[in-house]
Each structure stands twice: as structure tokens, then as C-alpha cells.
Amino acid sequence: MSELNIEQVKKIAKLANLELSEEQLGKFTTQLTKVIDYNVEQLAKANTDNIEPLLNVSGLTNSTRNDQTQPGLTQEQVLQNSDETHNGFFKVKQILDQS
């Protein structure tokens, strides 16, 4: 039984970069617990000893191309959907200390 508590859900929300209201936190705690419990209970029925995880159904590995520059988007195109740009850059919140 996973029985998530609200503190754990707050931590997950932080990892997921989601701001949730108290009401949403409460609702998600109930819903996530229900879904996870059901999932874990079901998965336990399948024996996976010595089974490798399947991550890729087509069996392809390392599809690479020659390391040569090819035409891409223009700077203007790349910036066109942002509200916060400056001199051809994306503006972001300050991450380095002034000092």
C-alpha cells in the first residue's frame, strides 16, 4: 500500500514544477494513491525475474547522421512564440547571484 501523504505529494509537485492549490493537493493525494495502488497490485501478478525492461519496440539503436550542419530555423522563427525576448535572446529569471 503506497498511501501517499500530502507532504510527499508536495514534493512530487515541486519536482514536476507544478504549483498546486491546497484543494488540488488533497484531490491528487487521493487520486494518485488509488491509481498507484491499483497499478502496483496488478503488476505484482506478473513475474519479472530475469526480464529486461522493454524501452524501445522497434529494436532500433543509435540512429545517427553525419556530423554536418544542415539548415534549421532562423533566429526570428525560434523567438517568435516567446513573450520575453531581448536583443535576439530569450529572457529568463536571474539564476546567478549579483555578488
Contact 28, 9 (CB under 8 A): yes
- Minimum CB–partner distance for residue 98 and other proteins (Å): 21
Q: Is residue 6 part of the contact set for other proteins (CB under 8 A)? A: no
CA dist., res. 75 & res. 81, Å (int): 11
Q: Among 5, 68, 81, 99, which residue sits at the site for other proteins (rule: CB under 8 A)?
A: 81
CA dist., res. 19 & res. 36, Å (int): 21
Cell numbers that stand for 7 in this block:
507532504
Q: Among 48, 87, 94, 99, which residue sits at the site for other proteins (rule: CB under 8 A)?
A: 48
Q: Is residue 96 part of the contact set for other proteins (CB under 8 A)? A: no
Q: Is residue 75 part of the contact set for other proteins (CB under 8 A)? A: no
Instruction: Spell out the long-range contacts of 61-65 with Cβ–Cβ below 8 A and sequence spacing 24 or more.
Output: none
3-state secondary structure of 11: helix
Q: What is the DSSP letter of 46?
A: S
Residue placing its CB nearer to other proteins in the complex, 77 or 94: 77
Residues that bind other proteins (CB under 8 A): 4, 9, 12-13, 15-20, 24, 28, 31-32, 34-36, 38-40, 42-43, 45-46, 48, 51-58, 60, 63, 65, 73, 77-78, 80-84, 90, 92
